[in-house]
């Protein structure tokens, strides 16, 4: 049985207590139901706290692993930026050659 | 000679096809990745809210119980029932920040080929090369029509080759990021899912506690017989109706819907990254991400209604 299933069972029991409450129990029965609900409530609270504590160590490792992936993506984005710059450089190179060819044309015409 | 010209045309057509195909595959990522990021943000926001308010729920359960049992409210007692310590909260918030950053970075990759930066620059380069070749042809005393047929394909190729290199890099970067992110994302989703489900069940326990106390109050008033106060009875009944409605609505705010959808989105993302990117693959991927976003919007609205969540 998983912890999640246990949480569901506790909830079902709390629901059942509420149904009994709606039937107008005697003071003695009410006291018993209160005690039962209190116990279930505490058990559920402790179970969730246990789940959280058990996960603590895993969070650190997994967060670091995903942060490393993010860091790799940032490097790839920098490389893409480099390619974009290359495109700009090609553009500038073509403009420069165009200017030279223009000059050569002017010189030839003269 | 004719055969040579045919070969040139074929190579040119092939290159244009490759460029067009690569452009499609990166463009096809954009909208679904945008949906993925938006849906992830909703999951993250709601998870943050639920985790942050989990301690508040526990404090309220404790205080209400003490009041009902006529017991003193002990501040130390309040802290022992809280679910998360400050360090535990910080670790969860950091994990959520990292998940959020992952989605943001994926979106940045697909937007790295923004039209103004690639298509426009490529277009300008293409025109510049055409002009340059035109000038060179004039210098050599050749006719403009001769030059045009020779220059246009060359000009296109120069810009397309650089554009192609960039689009290929984008696709590779995205595939790599999806592949590397899959495992840590899947495991983090599982951890968060378990804890948030626990916090959700505690919220439901609080709703049941409120119902029980109201039922008891109503019953106690009813047992007063002739001295019962009609107003008090009605007040209990009205509050009970509100609580019962909240209980019913809380079923739709089950965080399992949220994390199941998030996990399925990860699987779809990985499947698409590994696929041939056929039209069917693209359609399936787009549908999966649109569905993920739609589901998240629905669950987010239900969780908002579950105050203090």
pTM of the complete model: 0.79
Please tell me the predicted confidence (pLDDT) of residue A49.
Answer: 96
Record the tokens describing residue A2, joined without a space. 């998983």
Q: What mean pLDDT value characterizes chain B? A: 84
pLDDT at B280: 92
Q: If you average pLDDT over residues A77-100, what whole number do you get? A: 78
Residue contact A21–B88, C-beta within 8 A: no
Q: How many CB atoms lie within 10 A of CB B2?
A: 6
| Average pLDDT over every residue of B151-162 | 66
Residues of A with CB below 8 A from B88's CB? 52-53, 56
Contact B40, B99 (CB under 8 A): yes
Q: Is B191 on the interface with A (CB under 8 A)?
A: yes
Predicted local distance difference test score (pLDDT) of residue B166: 72
Query: What does the pLDDT read at residue B16?
Result: 45
Tell whether B45 is within 8 A of chain A (Cβ).
no
pLDDT at B147 over 70: no
pLDDT attached to residue A96 = 78
- How many CB pairs lie under 8 A apart between chains A and B? 185
| Inter-CA distances, A42 with A37, A38, B32, B240, B302, Å | 9, 6, 44, 24, 27
pLDDT at A58 exceeding the cut of 60: yes
Q: Is pLDDT larger for residue B150 or for residue A3? A: A3
The span from the CA of B283 to the CA of B271, in Å, is 12
Q: Please say whether the beta carbons of A55 and B195 come within 8 A.
A: yes
Whether B205 sits inside 8 A of A76 (CB atoms) is no
Can you read off the two tokens belonging to residue A84? 């974009």
Rounded Cα distance between B156 and B2, Å, is 22
- Model confidence at B242: pLDDT above 70: yes
What percent of chain B stands above pLDDT 70? 76
Q: Which of B102, B117, B158 sits opposite A70 (nearest CB)?
A: B102
Higher confidence at residue A108 or residue B105? B105
Least confident of A32-41, B115-124, B221-230, B269-278: B115-124
Going by pLDDT thresholds of 50, 70 and 90, the confidence category of residue B167 is confident
Q: What is the mean pLDDT of residues B19-33?
A: 62
pLDDT at B76 > cutoff 70: yes
ipTM here = 0.82
pLDDT (0 to 100) of residue B256:
92
Please determine, for residue B295, whether its predicted confidence score (pLDDT) is greater than 80: yes
State yes or no: pLDDT of B309 exceeds 80: no
The yes-or-no verdict on residue A83 having pLDDT over 80 is no
Given a cut of 50, whether residue A9 has pLDDT beyond it is: yes
């Amino acid at each position: 049985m998983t912890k999640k299933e246990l949480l569901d069972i506790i909830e079902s029991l709390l629901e059942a207590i509420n149904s009994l409450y709606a039937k107008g129990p005697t003071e003695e029965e009410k006291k018993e139901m209160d005690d039962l609900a209190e116990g279930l409530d505490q058990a559920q609270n402790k179970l969730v706290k246990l789940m959280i504590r058990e996960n603590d160590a895993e969070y650190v490792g997994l967060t670091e692993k995903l942060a490393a992936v993010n860091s790799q993506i940032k490097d790839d984005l920098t490389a893409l930026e480099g390619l974009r710059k290359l495109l700009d450089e090609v553009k500038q190179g073509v403009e420069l050659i165009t200017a030279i060819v223009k000059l050569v044309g002017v010189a030839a015409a003269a | 000679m004719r055969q040579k010209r045919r070969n040139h045309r074929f190579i040119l057509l092939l290159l244009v096809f490759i460029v067009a195909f690569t452009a499609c595959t990166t463009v096809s990522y954009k909208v679904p990745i945008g949906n993925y990021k938006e849906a992830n943000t909703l999951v993250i926001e709601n998870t943050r809210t639920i985790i942050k308010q989990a301690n508040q729920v526990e404090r309220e359960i404790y205080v209400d119980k003490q009041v009902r049992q006529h017991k003193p409210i002990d501040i130390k007692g309040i802290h022992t029932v809280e679910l998360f310590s400050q360090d535990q909260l910080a670790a969860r918030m950091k994990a959520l920040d990292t998940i959020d950053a992952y989605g943001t970075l994926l979106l940045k990759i697909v937007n790295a080929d923004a039209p103004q930066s690639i298509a426009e620059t490529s277009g300008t380069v293409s025109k510049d090369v055409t002009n340059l070749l035109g000038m060179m042809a004039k210098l050599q005393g050749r006719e403009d029509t001769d030059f045009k047929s020779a220059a246009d394909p060359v000009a296109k190729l120069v810009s397309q080759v650089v554009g192609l290199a960039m689009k290929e890099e984008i696709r590779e970067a995205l595939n790599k990021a999806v592949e590397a992110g899959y495992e840590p994302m899947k495991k983090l989703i599982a951890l968060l899912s378990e804890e948030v489900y626990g916090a959700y069940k505690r919220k439901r326990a609080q709703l049941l506690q409120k119902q029980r106390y109201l039922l008891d109050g109503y019953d106690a008033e009813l047992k007063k017989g002739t001295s019962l106060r009609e107003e008090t009875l009605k007040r209990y009944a009205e509050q009970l109706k509100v609580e019962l409605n909240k209980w019913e609505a809380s079923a739709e705010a089950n965080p399992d819907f949220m994390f199941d959808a998030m996990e399925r989105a990860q699987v779809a993302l990985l499947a698409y990254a590994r696929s041939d990117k056929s039209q069917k693959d693209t359609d399936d991927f787009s549908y999966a991400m649109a569905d993920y976003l739609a589901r998240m919007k629905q669950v987010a609205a239900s969780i908002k209604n579950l105050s203090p969540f």
